[in-house]
Amino acid sequence: MSTVTEPSAHLWDAKQQIEFDIFIEAIRRFTGHDFSQYSEPSLKRLVRRLMALQKTKSLASLIPRVIDDKHFRDYVIDNLTVSCSQLFRDPVVFQRITSEVFSYLESFPRPIIWVAGCANGEEAFSLAILLSEAGLLKHTQIYATDISPNALEQATSGVLQLPPTEEDRDNYKQSNGQNSLDDYFDYSSHGVKLREELLSHITFEQHDLIQQPEFISAQLVLCRNVFIYFEKTTKLSALEVIRNTLISRGYLVTGIKEDINLYESEKSFVLVSRKAGLYRKKLL
């Protein structure tokens, strides 16, 4: 099997940098998604990975395919967005959601939750399971969005890429899960699918957090491990979209390694739990 040596991001010469800029501009023109606002080192790592998958040393060779092939464009978007998701990832986050946020959601006749950057849907599935156990799901609507059409197609199906693992089951229990995780999935020759009575409460839509405005009014927003891929100005723009989406005193969950209070111009949120990446919007 042939291998492709990946150029280091900081060693890209002027020609490679021009190819990179044209490649990103071609994506913007033909998909509407502007990756120039992402952190360039992070983006270049993803582009190098894409080049390795395509077994090419020339980024220029991929530009005509971006222009001419919609399926390849979707493939590129899928590989430049980080579709990392897992059932009940970071149980401490779900512990705080169930112990603190659920009682807040219970005070609304029809609470709305937005999972931004939902990837393949596992985070939304996890929320639906815990909401069901708390007796809240029947009154709750979950909106789950992502930039990647392929990830959304997978998420909408409700089918897991892999069956639940022992780690998933342990994380579920640590997330204050009350039953058996397997009770919430149908097993068949077609795969492992979230049960329809849970899936029906999740609406999946394509949404670009950078370029598209808020589209709902929500009591809880989860945007985990997304800001780390943006430049500071882009982080602030995305945070403004979320701020405008959340009602006063609504909750925001970010990645556990992200601190939105590091952004000097962001004064709208109060830190509730650094360990869980949980914030609350100030009363306006």
- Residue spans of the domains in the chain: they are 9-80, 91-281
Burial of 32 (0-12, 13-18, 19+ CB in 10 A): exposed
From first to last of the 284 residues of the chain, give the pLDDT tens digit: 334 444 444 467 888 899 999 999 999 898 877 888 777 887 888 899 899 989 998 999 999 999 999 999 988 887 887 666 789 999 999 999 999 999 999 999 999 999 999 989 999 999 999 999 999 999 999 999 998 888 899 999 999 988 999 999 999 999 999 999 999 999 998 899 999 999 999 999 999 887 777 778 999 999 987 877 777 788 888 888 999 999 999 999 998 877 776 664 467 899 999 999 999 999 87
Q: Which residues contact 149 (CB under 8 A, 6 or more apart)?
A: 74, 77, 78, 206
CA distance 216 to 218: 6
Domain 91-281 has CATH 3.40.920.10: no
How would you label 175-196 residue by residue, b for 16+ Cβ within 10 Å and e otherwise? bbbeeebeebbeeeeeebbbbe
> Phi/psi of residue 42, each to 5°?
-65, -40
pLDDT of residue 11: 65
pLDDT of residue 177: 97
pLDDT of residue 83: 61
**pTM, entire model:** 0.79
pLDDT of residue 262: 62
DSSP character at residue 187: E
